[in-house]
Amino acid sequence: MSREIAPGIHWIYEAGPDRTESWDLADRDPEWYEAGREAYVPQCAYLVDGGEETLLFDTLSPASTEEILTAVDELVGDRGLDYLVVSHPDVPHAGNTLAILEAHPETTLVAPGYGNDHELYHLDEGIHVTEGDRIDLGDRVVEFHEATFLDAPVSVWMTERETETLFPVDWMGFIHLDEEKLTFVDELDGEFDPSRLVEFHGRVLFWYQYVDVEKTNAEIDRLVEKFDPQIVAPAHGLVIRENATDYMDLMKDVTRTIDGQERIGTLG
Protein backbone atom coordinates (compact mmCIF):
# COMPACT_ATOMS: atom_id res chain seq x y z
CA MET A 1 0.00 0.00 0.00
CA SER A 2 1.46 3.35 -0.96
CA ARG A 3 0.41 6.94 -1.56
CA GLU A 4 2.22 9.94 -3.00
CA ILE A 5 2.66 12.69 -0.39
CA ALA A 6 4.21 15.29 -2.66
CA PRO A 7 5.67 14.97 -6.15
CA GLY A 8 8.36 12.30 -5.94
CA ILE A 9 7.78 11.31 -2.30
CA HIS A 10 5.83 8.10 -1.71
CA TRP A 11 4.50 6.79 1.59
CA ILE A 12 4.65 2.98 1.92
CA TYR A 13 2.44 1.67 4.72
CA GLU A 14 2.28 -1.45 6.92
CA ALA A 15 -0.53 -1.65 9.47
CA GLY A 16 0.90 -4.20 11.90
CA PRO A 17 -1.40 -5.87 14.44
CA ASP A 18 -4.68 -4.44 15.68
CA ARG A 19 -3.91 -2.72 19.03
CA THR A 20 -7.50 -2.60 20.29
CA GLU A 21 -7.12 -5.39 22.82
CA SER A 22 -3.49 -4.94 23.86
CA TRP A 23 -4.07 -1.21 24.42
CA ASP A 24 -7.37 -1.88 26.17
CA LEU A 25 -9.14 0.66 23.97
CA ALA A 26 -12.65 -0.71 24.32
CA ASP A 27 -12.63 -0.39 28.12
CA ARG A 28 -10.71 2.87 28.32
CA ASP A 29 -12.65 4.36 25.37
CA PRO A 30 -10.43 7.41 24.68
CA GLU A 31 -12.14 10.28 22.88
CA TRP A 32 -10.58 9.57 19.50
CA TYR A 33 -11.61 5.89 19.59
CA GLU A 34 -14.88 4.54 18.21
CA ALA A 35 -16.32 1.34 19.67
CA GLY A 36 -15.96 -1.77 17.56
CA ARG A 37 -13.20 -0.31 15.39
CA GLU A 38 -9.69 -1.66 14.94
CA ALA A 39 -6.71 0.60 15.64
CA TYR A 40 -3.17 0.51 14.34
CA VAL A 41 0.29 1.89 14.97
CA PRO A 42 1.68 1.74 11.45
CA GLN A 43 5.17 1.03 10.23
CA CYS A 44 6.03 3.38 7.36
CA ALA A 45 8.79 3.54 4.78
CA TYR A 46 9.25 6.34 2.27
CA LEU A 47 10.51 6.29 -1.30
CA VAL A 48 12.01 9.48 -2.71
CA ASP A 49 12.20 9.70 -6.50
CA GLY A 50 14.31 12.58 -7.72
CA GLY A 51 13.88 11.78 -11.39
CA GLU A 52 17.52 10.87 -11.80
CA GLU A 53 17.91 8.59 -8.78
CA THR A 54 15.71 6.86 -6.22
CA LEU A 55 16.05 6.35 -2.47
CA LEU A 56 14.12 4.20 0.03
CA PHE A 57 14.04 5.31 3.69
CA ASP A 58 13.51 2.22 5.91
CA THR A 59 12.27 -1.23 4.94
CA LEU A 60 9.03 -2.12 6.78
CA SER A 61 9.11 -5.15 9.09
CA PRO A 62 9.92 -8.80 8.32
CA ALA A 63 6.16 -9.46 8.30
CA SER A 64 5.93 -7.41 5.07
CA THR A 65 8.87 -8.56 2.97
CA GLU A 66 6.82 -9.23 -0.16
CA GLU A 67 4.89 -5.99 0.28
CA ILE A 68 7.98 -3.77 0.39
CA LEU A 69 9.61 -5.56 -2.53
CA THR A 70 6.44 -5.16 -4.59
CA ALA A 71 6.02 -1.51 -3.62
CA VAL A 72 9.60 -0.68 -4.57
CA ASP A 73 9.27 -2.47 -7.89
CA GLU A 74 6.06 -0.61 -8.68
CA LEU A 75 7.54 2.77 -7.79
CA VAL A 76 10.99 2.55 -9.36
CA GLY A 77 10.20 0.26 -12.30
CA ASP A 78 13.16 -0.54 -14.51
CA ARG A 79 15.21 2.37 -13.18
CA GLY A 80 16.18 0.43 -10.07
CA LEU A 81 16.69 1.53 -6.49
CA ASP A 82 19.83 3.63 -6.08
CA TYR A 83 19.92 4.04 -2.27
CA LEU A 84 18.50 2.23 0.74
CA VAL A 85 18.72 4.29 3.93
CA VAL A 86 18.32 2.44 7.23
CA SER A 87 17.26 5.02 9.83
CA HIS A 88 18.28 2.65 12.63
CA PRO A 89 18.71 -1.11 12.95
CA ASP A 90 15.48 -1.80 14.82
CA VAL A 91 13.82 -4.90 13.36
CA PRO A 92 10.58 -3.23 12.20
CA HIS A 93 12.60 -0.51 10.44
CA ALA A 94 15.48 -2.54 9.03
CA GLY A 95 14.24 -6.12 8.93
CA ASN A 96 14.03 -6.32 5.14
CA THR A 97 17.42 -4.78 4.41
CA LEU A 98 18.97 -8.02 3.21
CA ALA A 99 15.95 -8.97 1.10
CA ILE A 100 15.93 -5.56 -0.61
CA LEU A 101 19.67 -5.61 -1.27
CA GLU A 102 19.37 -9.12 -2.69
CA ALA A 103 16.49 -8.07 -4.97
CA HIS A 104 18.29 -4.85 -5.93
CA PRO A 105 22.02 -5.51 -6.20
CA GLU A 106 22.37 -2.05 -7.77
CA THR A 107 21.43 -0.40 -4.46
CA THR A 108 23.92 1.42 -2.20
CA LEU A 109 23.29 0.93 1.51
CA VAL A 110 23.24 4.15 3.56
CA ALA A 111 23.55 3.83 7.33
CA PRO A 112 23.72 6.21 10.30
CA GLY A 113 27.20 7.43 11.12
CA TYR A 114 26.26 7.64 14.81
CA GLY A 115 26.78 4.91 17.40
CA ASN A 116 29.69 2.52 17.69
CA ASP A 117 28.55 -1.02 16.97
CA HIS A 118 27.70 -1.10 13.27
CA GLU A 119 29.28 -4.52 12.77
CA LEU A 120 26.71 -6.07 15.10
CA TYR A 121 24.03 -4.96 12.63
CA HIS A 122 25.76 -5.65 9.30
CA LEU A 123 25.94 -1.86 8.86
CA ASP A 124 29.72 -1.56 8.73
CA GLU A 125 29.61 -1.52 4.94
CA GLY A 126 27.93 1.13 2.78
CA ILE A 127 27.88 4.90 3.22
CA HIS A 128 27.74 6.30 6.77
CA VAL A 129 25.95 9.64 7.02
CA THR A 130 25.89 12.28 9.74
CA GLU A 131 24.58 15.83 10.22
CA GLY A 132 24.55 17.81 6.98
CA ASP A 133 25.43 15.00 4.57
CA ARG A 134 23.32 15.14 1.42
CA ILE A 135 22.37 12.90 -1.48
CA ASP A 136 21.29 14.67 -4.69
CA LEU A 137 18.66 12.58 -6.48
CA GLY A 138 17.96 15.12 -9.23
CA ASP A 139 14.81 17.10 -8.46
CA ARG A 140 14.94 15.97 -4.86
CA VAL A 141 17.81 16.33 -2.38
CA VAL A 142 17.82 14.53 0.94
CA GLU A 143 19.84 15.70 3.92
CA PHE A 144 20.70 13.72 7.04
CA HIS A 145 20.57 14.83 10.66
CA GLU A 146 21.53 13.55 14.07
CA ALA A 147 18.42 11.87 15.49
CA THR A 148 17.16 13.79 18.49
CA PHE A 149 14.46 11.61 20.05
CA LEU A 150 15.46 8.04 19.33
CA ASP A 151 15.86 4.54 20.68
CA ALA A 152 18.97 2.97 19.09
CA PRO A 153 22.23 4.95 19.25
CA VAL A 154 22.87 3.98 15.61
CA SER A 155 20.20 6.36 14.28
CA VAL A 156 19.71 9.15 11.78
CA TRP A 157 16.87 11.48 10.75
CA MET A 158 16.36 12.81 7.22
CA THR A 159 14.84 15.83 5.47
CA GLU A 160 13.99 16.41 1.82
CA ARG A 161 14.94 19.96 0.95
CA GLU A 162 12.66 20.81 -2.00
CA THR A 163 9.42 19.71 -0.34
CA GLU A 164 10.66 20.63 3.17
CA THR A 165 9.72 17.23 4.53
CA LEU A 166 11.03 16.01 7.89
CA PHE A 167 11.33 12.25 8.48
CA PRO A 168 11.61 12.02 12.31
CA VAL A 169 11.46 8.21 12.44
CA ASP A 170 10.15 7.13 15.90
CA TRP A 171 9.20 10.65 17.00
CA MET A 172 5.68 12.04 16.31
CA GLY A 173 4.07 8.65 15.80
CA PHE A 174 0.46 8.01 16.81
CA ILE A 175 -2.31 5.46 16.65
CA HIS A 176 -5.11 5.62 14.09
CA LEU A 177 -8.37 3.85 13.27
CA ASP A 178 -8.68 1.15 10.62
CA GLU A 179 -10.23 3.29 7.88
CA GLU A 180 -7.67 6.06 8.39
CA LYS A 181 -4.88 4.03 6.75
CA LEU A 182 -2.81 6.21 4.38
CA THR A 183 -4.94 9.23 5.28
CA PHE A 184 -3.25 12.61 5.71
CA VAL A 185 -3.89 14.21 9.09
CA ASP A 186 -5.69 17.14 7.41
CA GLU A 187 -8.12 14.63 5.90
CA LEU A 188 -9.18 13.13 9.26
CA ASP A 189 -12.71 13.74 10.46
CA GLY A 190 -12.86 16.39 13.17
CA GLU A 191 -10.04 17.93 15.13
CA PHE A 192 -6.91 15.90 15.75
CA ASP A 193 -6.86 14.57 19.32
CA PRO A 194 -3.36 15.05 20.86
CA SER A 195 -4.00 12.13 23.21
CA ARG A 196 -3.17 9.89 20.23
CA LEU A 197 0.39 11.23 20.44
CA VAL A 198 0.41 10.64 24.20
CA GLU A 199 -0.73 7.03 23.72
CA PHE A 200 2.17 6.38 21.36
CA HIS A 201 5.00 8.24 23.07
CA GLY A 202 3.99 7.04 26.53
CA ARG A 203 4.44 3.50 25.34
CA VAL A 204 7.09 3.57 22.61
CA LEU A 205 9.40 6.38 23.68
CA PHE A 206 8.90 5.04 27.20
CA TRP A 207 11.79 7.16 28.48
CA TYR A 208 9.68 10.31 28.21
CA GLN A 209 8.49 9.42 31.72
CA TYR A 210 12.05 9.91 33.00
CA VAL A 211 13.03 13.20 31.37
CA ASP A 212 13.53 16.76 32.51
CA VAL A 213 10.42 18.27 30.92
CA GLU A 214 11.75 21.81 30.46
CA LYS A 215 14.97 20.61 28.84
CA THR A 216 13.11 18.25 26.54
CA ASN A 217 10.67 20.93 25.51
CA ALA A 218 13.51 23.38 24.88
CA GLU A 219 14.86 20.75 22.50
CA ILE A 220 11.50 20.63 20.72
CA ASP A 221 11.63 24.43 20.31
CA ARG A 222 15.08 24.03 18.81
CA LEU A 223 13.80 21.39 16.37
CA VAL A 224 10.95 23.63 15.23
CA GLU A 225 13.41 26.45 14.58
CA LYS A 226 15.97 24.19 12.91
CA PHE A 227 13.67 22.28 10.56
CA ASP A 228 10.52 24.43 10.19
CA PRO A 229 9.08 21.70 7.93
CA GLN A 230 6.07 21.86 5.63
CA ILE A 231 5.50 18.11 5.93
CA VAL A 232 6.21 15.66 8.76
CA ALA A 233 6.45 12.01 7.72
CA PRO A 234 6.80 9.78 10.80
CA ALA A 235 7.58 6.07 10.75
CA HIS A 236 4.68 5.21 13.07
CA GLY A 237 1.93 7.68 12.26
CA LEU A 238 -0.01 9.39 9.52
CA VAL A 239 1.63 12.05 7.37
CA ILE A 240 1.16 15.66 8.46
CA ARG A 241 1.17 18.03 5.47
CA GLU A 242 -0.53 21.12 6.89
CA ASN A 243 0.59 23.25 9.85
CA ALA A 244 3.39 20.80 10.54
CA THR A 245 5.14 22.97 13.11
CA ASP A 246 1.92 23.26 15.12
CA TYR A 247 2.02 19.50 15.56
CA MET A 248 5.67 19.71 16.59
CA ASP A 249 4.66 22.30 19.19
CA LEU A 250 1.95 19.90 20.40
CA MET A 251 4.72 17.51 21.35
CA LYS A 252 5.57 19.81 24.27
CA ASP A 253 2.14 19.11 25.72
CA VAL A 254 2.80 15.42 25.17
CA THR A 255 5.96 15.66 27.26
CA ARG A 256 4.09 17.45 30.04
CA THR A 257 1.18 15.02 29.97
CA ILE A 258 3.38 11.94 30.17
CA ASP A 259 5.26 13.55 33.05
CA GLY A 260 2.03 14.16 34.92
CA GLN A 261 0.44 10.73 34.66
CA GLU A 262 1.18 7.10 35.46
CA ARG A 263 2.72 4.95 32.74
CA ILE A 264 -0.02 4.55 30.15
CA GLY A 265 1.22 1.08 29.25
CA THR A 266 3.75 -0.74 27.16
CA LEU A 267 3.71 -1.14 23.40
CA GLY A 268 2.26 -4.57 24.17
Residue type, 195: S
Q: Show the binding pattern over residues 60-79: x = contacts another protein (CB under 8 A), - = does not.
A: -xxx----------------
Q: Are strands 231-232 and 43-49 parallel, antiparallel or unpaired?
A: unpaired
Coil vs helix vs strand at 88: coil
**Closer residue to another protein, CB minimum distance, 24 or 73:** 24
**Binders of another protein in range 114-143 (CB under 8 A):** 115-117, 119-121
Residue from 1, 4, 7, 17 binding another protein (CB under 8 A)? 17
Should residue 86 be labelled a site residue for another protein when binding is judged by CB under 8 A?
Answer: no
Q: How many CB atoms lie within 10 A of CB 148?
A: 17
Q: Are strands 43-49 and 83-85 parallel, antiparallel or unpaired?
A: unpaired
Q: What are phi and psi of 166, to 5 degrees?
A: -105, 130
Should residue 203 be labelled a site residue for another protein when binding is judged by CB under 8 A?
Answer: yes
Contact 99, 124 (CB under 8 A): no
Burial class (CB in 10 A: 0-12, 13-18, 19+), 209: middle
Nearest 5°: the CA angle 179, 75, 111 is 95
Should residue 106 be labelled a site residue for another protein when binding is judged by CB under 8 A?
Answer: no
Task: Answer positive or negative: Cα dihedral of 232, 138, 132, 97.
Answer: positive
Q: Least distance in Å: CB of 239 to another protein?
A: 20
Residue from 36, 210, 260, 262 binding another protein (CB under 8 A)? 210
Residue from 8, 50, 89, 234 binding another protein (CB under 8 A)? 89
**Binders of another protein in range 135-194 (CB under 8 A):** 149-153, 155
Stretch in the footprint of another protein (CB under 8 A) among 50-58, 181-189, 204-212, 240-248? 204-212
Contact 108, 137 (CB under 8 A): no
Contact 32, 195 (CB under 8 A): yes
Should residue 27 be labelled a site residue for another protein when binding is judged by CB under 8 A?
Answer: no
Distance CA(231)–CA(6), nearest Å, equals: 9
Distance CA(133)–CA(142), nearest Å, equals: 8
Q: Least distance in Å: CB of 217 to another protein?
A: 9
Count of residues near another protein by CB under 8 A: 45
**Binders of another protein in range 245-264 (CB under 8 A):** 263
Stretch in the footprint of another protein (CB under 8 A) among 58-66, 79-87, 100-108, 134-142? 58-66
Distance CA(133)–CA(127), nearest Å, equals: 10
Residue from 108, 183, 209, 243 binding another protein (CB under 8 A)? 209
**Closer residue to another protein, CB minimum distance, 78 or 262:** 262
Stretch in the footprint of another protein (CB under 8 A) among 90-98, 102-110, 158-166, 174-182? 90-98
Residues that bind another protein (CB under 8 A): 14, 16-17, 19, 22, 43, 61-63, 89-92, 95, 115-117, 119-121, 149-153, 155, 203-207, 209-213, 215-216, 218-219, 222, 263, 266-268
